[in-house]
Structure formats: structure tokens, C-alpha cells
Structure 1
């Protein structure tokens, strides 16, 4: 029995509309904050200017809504941050060694990796985390198929390609463990990263 009284939850369409409005208000808030930070002064003029710019961006450049259905996990965030710093240092040293090694010409490759959680948020966060590490770069994304095309530096053989795919899936798993829902976490943990198909 669906209730329609004062204590009943709003219908699904109304909830979706309220969610979109909430997301738009959050986007306006961030855009206004960035606008004021760019000017370096929080004033009424900059506040009004930021509101006008934010409204223009949302009206003329609408982006698909990215809703957050997960939850923040402090332990997952800590593990993600710590491992990210370790990988950043390790990759930086590896790229520096390649740069100064005389006569060595590294081979690179582009690998396609299908993510296990096909949400826009997971796609964006995983791609950003990978692109920030030296030696890897996202060259293209297939949003519909949830596939990342990753440029990898210093590939010597098939084992390096398999390792690159594995690393992408490990990063995805850490992202989901930090901010994903319980269902998404079960999804990425259901199959070990070294057993997943490419």
C-alpha cells in the first residue's frame, strides 16, 4: 500500500527532481567559491558575479547529473590516500630513472580496461587518480561501456600490459572502498583483480 498522506515519502519522480535541485545547488556553491578564490577577495560584488557565472555555466553548459549514492569510509579514504602517495613517489622515481638513463627509449602502449562499477562518479574518480600518477594518462573514456583507455609508459611485454590492467582495477577498488556504496564494494570485491578479464 502506497501512502499519500502527510507522512508518506514523496514519489520517485519528485525525489529525482529534488535530487537534481540539490546537486545544482551544490554545483552553484562550488562555482561561487571557486570564482571568489580566483579573484582572491570575498566581496558582495564577487559573490554576485560568481552567482551570475554559476547560473550561466549551469544553463549554457549543462552536464549530466552525477549523483553520489555511496558513503564516505574514513578507513578506505586513508588507505586510498596512503597508497596514492606511495605510488606517486614510486612512479616519479621510475619516470626519472627512464629520463636520465642514457640510450634507453621506452616503449609505451594504450590498454583498455572495463571498470566493474559503471557509474559516472567512479569513472571520473578512477580516471583522475590514474592521470595524476606519472607514467599513466587517460587518453579516452567510453562512458557507455565504462571503459578507460590508459596510456602506459615503459611497456616491455605482455606481462607489463597485464600488470597495467591490474593496477587500474586496484585503483578502482580503492576508490570504491573509499566512497562507494555497499553494493558497489561487493561488486568490485567479488572477483580478484588478477582473475578479471580485460
Structure 2
């Protein structure tokens, strides 16, 4: 019974967010009210706010689903694999499966989603907040094998590198290239970028 209840909650969560993102992409984030989203999703405003405390959360739960991912990759790496090697491998895996978080996904909705997030100040600010939390989590994972300052510095550089790579991929796709034809250069860029990152002592 608990599993069914959780599944229904998850389905409602996804349905509300999907309705919201469809409206936001059609008309713009600031042009759509929460009441309109609730009506489109077939729920009341109080029910909507039970799932999503703020309007921004309707969009950014797709970002928060990746919260702490880099730290999990470091802690779950194979024996003998360095943290940077694990993070590099994970990013390459994301490119190969066209994970939207790598910027290498040319589905129109994904391209529009990125444009909306980075073109809306309140959403862009929340993304930076998510990045700060990710940086803290990654630094904590790295600090298990080195000193705190080094872990903080490396964590910041890794996440900025990933953000720059993803933004670069997105801009190339917005310029008219396909994900398929961009893939080889995206891999080369990732290899180059991770080679520039400092190793851990």
C-alpha cells in the first residue's frame, strides 16, 4: 500500500510539473500564474503548493533531481579510480546518453527549458543556489581523501567546468547543430577540460 501511495504521489508530482513547464515554455515563466498551472493540472492551489513550495520549484525539480550527484559519483567510484577520473567518466556517460544536464540534448523542449531557466533571473538564481549545495556536498566527499581547503577548491573547479561544458554544448545546439554531430567535439572538449583540472594529492 505504501508503494502504491508513493507511486501516486510521484505521478501527481510529475503531472503538475509537466503541465507547468508546458505553459511556461508556451508563454514565459513570468507570464503564467500558479493558479493557471493548478487549473491546467486539475488540482487546487493548496494541493499544488503541497508538492511545490514555490513557483520556481515547478521548473527546477528537474535540476534538484541531480542534487548531490557528483558527491555520489565520488563515493561510489571503483577501487583504484581517482575522484576526477570518476567524475570525468560520469560526464562522458552523460554525453553518450544525451543527458540534458550535459547540455547535449537537442529535443526542442530541452532546448527551450534551458533557455527559460537561464533567461529568467529568479530561476537562474535558484540554479546557482543548487550549485552551491552541490559544491558543498562534493567538497565533503573529496575531503575524505584530502584536506578541507583542497577539497573545496577542487569541488568548485569541477562544477564550474561541468557548467561551462554544458553551456557550450547548449549554445552549439541552439546555433543549429544536432546532438549527434556535436557529440565527438563535446567528448573532446570534456577530455580537454578534465585534463586541465588539478589532481588531488
Q: What is the TM-score when the length of structure 1 is the normalising length?
A: 0.25
Q: What is the TM-score when the length of structure 2 is the normalising length?
A: 0.25
